[in-house]
Amino acid sequence: MQDRQSRERREEEDARIDWGIILSVMVLAIIGMLSIYVAASHDTSTMSVPRTLISQAMWYAIGIGAIIFIMQFDAEQLWKVAPIAYGLGITLLVLVLIFYSRAYALKTGAKSWLAFGPLTFQPSEVMKPAYILMLGRVVAQHNAEFYEHTIKTDWNLIGKLALWTLPVAVLLKLQNDFGTMLVFFAILSGVILVSGVSWKILAPLFGGAAFLGTAGILLAVYGRNLLMAIGFKAYQFARIEAWLNPSASTTGNSYQLWQSMKAIGSGQLFGTGFNHSNVYVPVRESDMIFSVIGENFGFIGGCILIFIYLLLIFQMIQVTFDTRNEFYAYISTGVIMMILFHVFENIGMSIGLLPLTGIPLPFISQGGSALIANMIGIGLIMSMRYHNKSYMFSSSKEFR
């Protein structure tokens, strides 16, 4: 009898954990450690290779702890935590404007880093999951209040989401961190898309966004004075120039992108082999980590990496459909959009498809803040399965 109860407990515990998501993240973490090892081994750096790997391993360990901690929260608890997390995130975004690292501001042009001795922390990264929770709560609460969607209630919802987004956008603008702001806009777009808003609103809304994006690029080339008047910086124009014509200044503004494209191109179909690096790429351990994968493992290696990301996203979507919880659905949409945009933007900028923005590759790039944010996102997804499967398992036993 005890053996049977013990076996049932093990079965219940296994059913509550999504091992597929864990496996995908573990594979990405291994790829990340190997890629960082290659980058650190071939680049001139003040930090030794062992220290770099140990530091990254510690961040992975903290991330695992974050996943386990977040998994303990069910939907009701996450609902209550959402405004608290959002408020703490906004507080951190304000504090970083006062206590930002002057050294990193000179290096990156953004006031978005806090420094504690050798350790650095980017509050905007951990703001992402807090923002996702808050958007999920706002949409679920609105839809519960207005069961039938009308044009008026849909605009009302968009207005609410805009109000919760505005403080984040303003603070990121003050930090001069346009790349991170794009991630928040991607999250917002994904949540609006699945919120039930009418296509009569979505079509002109997204069409207008596409028009503004196109107009912005054209103004960056032909009308810079207008963009500079509203706060755009010279380095942002330089990035657009490097993107539109990377061969124009291969030793200047386009140097990083050009070197990344050379490294990826040198990998050809199967790559140069592990730890065989012939092309120097600046900051490839973080922003340009895909150039390491492209050079060492070639086109095939890059395709396998993209497939792993697609598999992870598919598994997260599957969890969302299994739980059938509206609040969870909006949370998972935000997490998926966060990871998907990071992957699309990082790989896109590494191969010259998109402008350089300094956005890391999820679970692979060196750095702790972005990794912790992504791990928290995975923890939120795992929480859905963890608590939903527990209910499903106990219910199925009752009906036997």
Mean pLDDT of 64-92: 94
Domain count, the chain: 1
Which contiguous run of DSSP H or E holds residue 274? none
Give the range among 47-51, 72-76, 149-153, 341-345 with minimum mean pLDDT. Answer: 47-51
Question: Is position 358 within any domain?
Answer: yes
Q: Which of 66-70, 107-111, 199-203 has the highest mean pLDDT?
A: 66-70
Domain that holds residue 297: 12-398
pTM of the model: 0.90
- Using CA atoms, how far residue 375 sits from 29, 81, 252, 363, 369, in Å, is 11, 18, 36, 8, 10
> Tell me, what's the pLDDT at 69?
95
Mean pLDDT of 37-61: 85
Q: Are 124 and 180 in contact (CB under 8 A)?
A: yes
Question: Is position 88 within any domain?
Answer: yes
Cα separation, 162 vs 154, whole angstroms:
12
Question: Is position 2 within any domain?
Answer: no
Q: Is a pLDDT exceeding 50 seen at residue 319?
A: yes
Give the range among 132-141, 167-176, 246-255, 318-327 with minimum mean pLDDT. Answer: 246-255
pLDDT band at 237 (very low <50, low <70, confident <90, very high): confident
Q: Is a pLDDT exceeding 90 seen at residue 130?
A: yes
Beta-bridge mates of residue 10: none
Mean pLDDT of 202-219: 86
> Tell me, what's the pLDDT at 62?
95
CA 247, distance to chain mean position in Å, is: 29
> Tell me, what's the pLDDT at 399?
27
Among 162, 160, 176, CA closest to 93: 176
Mean pLDDT of 286-300: 94
> Tell me, what's the pLDDT at 247?
74
Give the range among 233-242, 282-291, 389-398 with minimum mean pLDDT. Answer: 389-398
Q: Are 277 and 42 in contact (CB under 8 A)?
A: yes
Mean pLDDT of 189-194: 94
> Tell me, what's the pLDDT at 322?
82
DSSP states of 60-74 as a string? HHHHHHHHHHHHT--
Question: Is position 6 within any domain?
Answer: no
Residue 91 CB coordination number (10 Å):
12
> Tell me, what's the pLDDT at 79?
95
Question: Is position 376 within any domain?
Answer: yes
Question: Is position 3 within any domain?
Answer: no
Q: What average pLDDT is seen over the chain?
A: 87
Helices and strands (H, E) in the chain, number of each type: 15, 2
Cα separation, 200 vs 188, whole angstroms:
18
Cα separation, 183 vs 340, whole angstroms:
10
Q: Is a pLDDT exceeding 60 seen at residue 394?
A: no
Q: Which of 4-8, 113-117, 160-164 has the highest mean pLDDT?
A: 160-164
